A and B are shown apart, each in its own frame.
Chain A
Amino acid sequence: MWLSPPEWQALLLSLKVSTVAVACAMPFALAAAALLADRTFPGKALIDGILHMPLVLPPVVVGYLLLLAFGTRGALGSWLLLHLGIRFVFSWTGAALAAGLITFPFQVRAIRAAMEVVGAGLKDAAETLGAGPWDRFVNLTLPLALPGIVAGAITAFAASLGEFGAIITFVSNIPGETQTLPLAIYSALQTPGGEAEAARLAVLSIGLAILGLLLAEYADRRARAIAAR
């Protein structure tokens, strides 16, 4: 194989970080999307804006804020370390947290759009047939929004693979622990004679990104086909 063991390590770590990031953010994204879809309440625009912050803030700033909150001296970080023994800094879990947070809006947007397509009509019908709110969410909204949920997850996954600024700021660049593909490319470029390695990793990243976009496009088309019925 044309990848060296450290490169393999970076690839597998990237996949692990992105998978955990998307999976852990998804329940929160579902909750946020359900809250924002089909409903108006005071403060909705504010919540919507806050949820979109990771999209507009510089990733380095997000990483810095995470460091403030989840660092060993940060309020949340010290509490988690003391009571649950969980440490995010200098750990791949921290990389997953940063990537999950940065790509959270992608998930919320895709899921929310899919949920809004379900519409009030079908929910009213389900309600007159005896289905309560949770029942309607699980048996109607979720399955009908599934293509949107999948599309959001794929987009978020692809974006997570490329996350650089927040990860390097929050959990540093430790080979085998927090050095994901973009960080490995960065390191290779910093090393004399590392251009070939950087090129290989870059090609790999491009391939993964294209694959992710194709999958997202396919899921999106499925969602539209369902919505058009």
Chain B
Amino acid sequence: MSVDVSVCHRYGDFTLDVAFKIEQPGVTALFGPSGAGKTSIINAIAGVLRPQHGRIVARDRVLYDTAANICISPRQRRVGYVFQDARLFPHMSVERNLRFGWRRARERAPEPEVRHVIELLELRFLLARRTQGLSGGEKARVALGRALLASPDILLLDEPLAALDTARKNEIFPYLERLRDEARIPILLVSHSLDEVSRLAGHIVILRAGNVVTSGSVFDVLSDLNLPDYTGASPYGAVIGATVAENDTDTGLSTLAFPGGRLVVPLLERAIGEQLRVHVRAEDVMLSLEEPHGISANNILPAIVSGLRATTALHADIRLACGPTAILSRITRASCERLSLKAGMAVFAIVKSVTIATANDGPRHD
């Protein structure tokens, strides 16, 4: 499954110098601001860019190695590339676009699999259409299908949602989630949106000015107190993997279980046992030294302070351990001093609200 990338490339006064490994299937996000080198990396993997130095191995095939003078041509790399601007062939119908790579694949996907991809991306009613009349979201779906049907070893998605407005993004998201859950190949997602990353990715590589600043599981990286240094933004807040434990129609509440605690949320239309990702914004977590009573918040989690950081002149970010699960809280520095917070202290985290997305973080059955 593994993908091993180590690339050094200089153009103009920009130097791309990165090395990372993807050991697990599922989605790995390349995250960073524009100009960080994200697209250059996947261009190098696809072979559209030839770095001056580097070695790229995907699923045990050496695609590129300057030291050994190996450079597999893009057409033989078996890399599915979904470009930001879809790049559908304008003189072909949707179906001919979809079958372009399929027809040229070394081993063509069998017909039931082709139909499955068409169903997965709900393309059946578009097949006869020309590509000009398609909406942005439809184009993105066709581009995804076209790449998948070429039976690639690895799928590269270059900001597939960037060109879409919020409504269209929400329209495409379920398809990407299905793809994440069904594709048995590593997916590399280029993104500059932590929302996208936190919903889709299992792993994240953070880039800045051509270098990898940190990488790891989405849960670890998003609860890293230093993340604002890497992203240049306020802390995103922790993401917790949880499963639906209880749906109570009487109280109108669902209970979500996660390692180290439970969360109660307004009733969800989700089956018991379904895996979810819960985004807990740092601003939405208050801290109390004593267990609060007579409070409207549904979720009061006992936790241990595992890290503190005075991130700005006014704010401090606190990392909390609820068992093995980490969450973040952003409070004022004044509050931090008043409570005399220190690592190892026991506190109660009052979670005001959370955001929920579907997930597939459980063991995989390949």
Contacts and interface: CB of A to CB of B under 8 A. Distances in A.
The 10 closest A-B pairs by CB, nearest first: A130-B104, A129-B101, A125-B87, A128-B81, A127-B74, A130-B75, A143-B91, A124-B48, A127-B75, A128-B74
A208 interface: no
Interface of A: 121-122, 124-132, 135, 140, 143-144, 226, 229
B47 interface: yes
Interface string B134-154: 000000000000110010000
B80 interface: yes
Contacts of B89: 122, 125-126, 140
Given A124-B74, A144-B91, A229-B132, A131 B104 contact: yes
B100 interface: yes
A29 to B, nearest CB: 21
B200 to A, nearest CB: 22
Nearest to A128: B81
Given A128-B48, A129-B147, A135-B104, 18 more contacts: A121-B85, A122-B89, A124-B74, A125-B87, A125-B89, A127-B75, A128-B47, A128-B77, A128-B80, A129-B100, A130-B75, A130-B76, A130-B101, A130-B104, A130-B105, A131-B75, A143-B91, A144-B91
B161 to A, nearest CB: 18
Contact of B75 (A122, A132, A229): A132
A209 to B, nearest CB: 31
Contacts of B77: 128
Interface of A is mostly: helix
Contacts of A143: 91
A122 B100 CA distance: 12
A130 B85 CA distance: 19
Contacts of B80: 128
Contact of A125 (B76, B81, B104, B105): B81
A108 B1 CA distance: 49
A125 B83 CA distance: 8
A89 B48 CA distance: 51
11 contacts: A124-B46, A124-B83, A125-B87, A127-B48, A128-B47, A128-B81, A129-B75, A129-B101, A130-B105, A131-B100, A132-B75
